[in-house]
Amino acid sequence: MFRIFIVDDSAEARAGIKAALEQRSEWVVVGEACNGRHALETFLDHAPHVTLMDFWMPEMNGLQVARHLIRRRPHALILMITTDPSRQLEKEARKAGIKGLCGKSHLPCLFTAIETLMEGRTYFSEDAVA
């Protein structure tokens, strides 16, 4: 089982992503966080293999949260998800130690990105970033 943690301020987005991911029998969503602070409080409790991190969130954006999580667990696999992927965000994500970036509404990209991260590679393809 591959353990996935979803961090997104939208309950609707979390529910949709969770439903899509759990169609794969080998993937299980072990936890969800509704904002960056909640993610920081619960991340270690969930021990995820991959964390899906929304970029746009109140209080702390996904880059800020990812930096904190990676300091706590340097080998954390974090996939930045956003409605508006860009080259600038990709650059910042790489600097923060994030392993991938893709649009959160593009499920084939999301699935491919998770599989790629689980194989120990990064996912910043042309398709992922406009």
Among 12, 97, 7, 82, residue whose Cα is nearest residue 48 = 7
* Distance from C-alpha of 79 to C-alpha of 84, rounded to nearest angstrom: 14
For residue 20, the domain's CATH number is 3.40.50.2300
Residue 39 is predicted with a pLDDT of 96
Express each pLDDT in 84-111 by its tens digit: 888 999 999 999 999 999 988 888 899 9
> How many separate domains does the chain show?
1
Examine residue 59 and state whether it is found in any structural domain, yes or no: yes
Range of the domain at 80: 2-118
Cβ proximity of 22 and 4 under 8 Å: no
Examine residue 128 and state whether it is found in any structural domain, yes or no: no
Express each pLDDT in 17-60 by its tens digit: 999 999 999 999 999 999 999 999 999 999 999 999 999 998 89
Cβ proximity of 77 and 106 under 8 Å: no
Examine residue 127 and state whether it is found in any structural domain, yes or no: no
Examine residue 130 and state whether it is found in any structural domain, yes or no: no
Residue 128 is predicted with a pLDDT of 61
Examine residue 124 and state whether it is found in any structural domain, yes or no: no
Residue 130 is predicted with a pLDDT of 56
Parallel, antiparallel or unpaired: strands 77-82 and 100-103: parallel
Which two three-digit tokens encode residue 22?
Answer: 């759990």
Type of residue found at 59: E
Among 108, 106, 59, 67, residue whose Cα is nearest residue 84 = 106
Query: 127 falls in which pLDDT band (50, 70, 90)?
Result: low
Residue 126 is predicted with a pLDDT of 67
Higher pLDDT, 127 or 124: 124
First vs last C-alpha separation in the chain: 32
Q: pTM score, two decimals?
A: 0.94
Is the pLDDT score of 65 beyond 80? yes
